[in-house]
Amino acid sequence: MKTLLLVAHGSRREASNDEVRTLARALAAKVADRYDRVEAAFLELATPSIPDAIDAAIASGAGEVVLCPYFLSAGRHVSEDIPAIVAERRAAHPRASIRITPYLGQHDRLAEVLAQLV
């Protein structure tokens, strides 16, 4: 079993967190051929936390957990905090595969999406 976590910063505005959860559901439909489950997870201010979401995925039978950082730039959260959490969960779950994809801001199709917005 393979779980995808859409990892966002988390906000004090619950509406923003719900936007991420809604996006995770939309994403689930698009990657259903590759991932059994897609969930949102949050670095802070919202639940589930990233470690809790990883642990829950593995407890549900996922042998592979993939984190996709929903961030526009490679600040400390992307470059340090998320990798540190992943390193810790790898140590806790030595038989699971836990990896991180490039973050959203690195995607070369963002310019196309913006061109449609304006």
Q: How far apart are CA 44 and CA 41, in angstroms?
A: 9
Whole-number minimum distance, CB 94 to a copy of itself, in Å? 23
Q: How far apart are CA 86 and CA 92, in angstroms?
A: 10
Site string for a copy of itself, 63-92 (x = CB under 8 A): ---x-x-xxxxxx-----------------
Helix (H) or strand (E) holding 89: helix 82-92
Site string for a copy of itself, 13-52 (x = CB under 8 A): x-xx--xx--x--xx-xxx--xx-----------------
- Where does this chain touch a copy of itself (CB under 8 A) — which range of 2-10, 44-52, 55-63, 84-92? 2-10
Position 97 contacts a copy of itself (CB under 8 A): no
